[in-house]
Homo-oligomer: A and B are copies of this chain.
Amino acid sequence: MAKTGRFTGPLLAFYENTKEQCFKDLKSTESSEAILTLVLECLKFLQKGCTATDLKSLVADKEYFSFVDKRKPAALSRPINKAFFEGNPGKIAANWKAWEAKEPVSVEELTRLAYTMAMAYFAAVDLFDRNNKKGPATYFECLIGHLFARTFQKNPTKSATIEASKRKVKLTMDFLFDLGENKPKIHLPVKTSTRERVVQAWAHQRILDASYGNNVYKGLLVVFSETKLDLRKREVVEICVPDQWLAYQTLIAKMDRIYYFDTPQRYEQLAKELPDVFQLKHFSAFFTETEAILKGTVP
């Protein structure tokens, strides 16, 4: 993380601790606690140091707002979907602990929980340190890695050893889960948004398919959102490239699932038109379909 802005203060220590715990043992209770502590600190800053300002949403049926730092009112956080943001820290803490303890939490609450656990940090970093791209990417990997590792009770690896031209080569990927015999293996690329670099996720899936056979690794792509904020006009749009996605998904490799925290409408439409090609889901589905993924009975 760049050593600029107030993130060099107390929040940085919470971020570093989250990274440390998650790098050590993603599925651990320590990771769970570190993530929650960081998020609660971020929420505290957003609610005490900031005001919320409405944005003009050009996305049908979605409303967005930004947090604005009272001391630097020109800076806006990224757009936040009103339907998914839970501003009550007590509820966040209670639901997070309940989910970790496998106590029942409604899908609506889980949806807001997951969205807020990611967004609280994103919004805080946007205001502290606008150009910090690494922090949100790393934190989002920690959060998603933790949710999956906790669910599977197993930590992932970050690299695959494959054979190419009769040599063993090692490739770094986002996350790979080997869940044991007779269970699917999982390839889990994690991105805050896709844009240009997402082709890597499909390319890695192709390498896994070519090395291990089709359907050995299930590809589950997790993306936060594709929103873009025009800072001058304060307008929110979704940037989608359906043609690219269709080419990647049919001609490079097939992802079994694409999960979004804020599903872009054009991709939703594409998946509706081509249900055999795309399984696009809101991330909240992850909480209910884990068993089916593990059994391999998910389409």
Using a CB–CB distance below 8 Å, which chain A residues touch chain B?
A: 162, 164-165, 167, 169-171, 196-197, 199-200, 202-203, 206-207, 210-211, 243-244, 246-252, 274, 277
Instruction: Please measure, in the bound complex, the distance between the C-alpha atom of A169 and the C-alpha atom of B274, giving whole angstroms.
Output: 14
B202 and A167 contact, CB distance less than 8 A = no
Instruction: Please measure, in the bound complex, the distance between the C-alpha atom of A169 and the C-alpha atom of B165, giving whole angstroms.
Output: 33
Instruction: Please measure, in the bound complex, the distance between the C-alpha atom of A198 and the C-alpha atom of B101, giving whole angstroms.
Output: 43
A167 and B197 contact, CB distance less than 8 A = no
**Which applies to chain A's interface (DSSP): helix, strand, loop or mixed?**
helix
Across the interface, name the chain B residue whose C-beta is closest to A171. Answer: B247
A274 and B197 contact, CB distance less than 8 A = no
Across the interface, name the chain B residue whose C-beta is closest to A206. Answer: B252
B207 and A164 contact, CB distance less than 8 A = no
A274 and B171 contact, CB distance less than 8 A = no
A197-B197, A211-B251 known; A246 and B169 CB under 8 Å?
Answer: yes
Q: Which of B171, B202, B249, B250 contacts A203, CB < 8 Å? A: B202
Instruction: Please measure, in the bound complex, the distance between the C-alpha atom of A197 and the C-alpha atom of B203, giving whole angstroms.
Output: 11
A202-B203, A206-B206 known; A164 and B247 CB under 8 Å?
Answer: yes
Instruction: Please measure, in the bound complex, the distance between the C-alpha atom of A197 and the C-alpha atom of B246, giving whole angstroms.
Output: 20
A207 and B243 contact, CB distance less than 8 A = no
CB-defined contacts of A169 to chain B, threshold 8 Å = 243-244, 246-247
B165 and A248 contact, CB distance less than 8 A = no
B199 and A251 contact, CB distance less than 8 A = no
B251 and A207 contact, CB distance less than 8 A = yes
CB-defined contacts of A251 to chain B, threshold 8 Å = 162, 164, 206-207, 210-211
Instruction: Please measure, in the bound complex, the distance between the C-alpha atom of A234 and the C-alpha atom of B14, giving whole angstroms.
Output: 35
Shortest Cβ distance from residue A210 to the other chain B in the assembled complex, whole angstroms: 4
B197 and A165 contact, CB distance less than 8 A = no
CB-defined contacts of A202 to chain B, threshold 8 Å = 203
Shortest Cβ distance from residue A287 to the other chain B in the assembled complex, whole angstroms: 30
B164 and A252 contact, CB distance less than 8 A = no
Shortest Cβ distance from residue A172 to the other chain B in the assembled complex, whole angstroms: 8
CB-defined contacts of A244 to chain B, threshold 8 Å = 169, 171
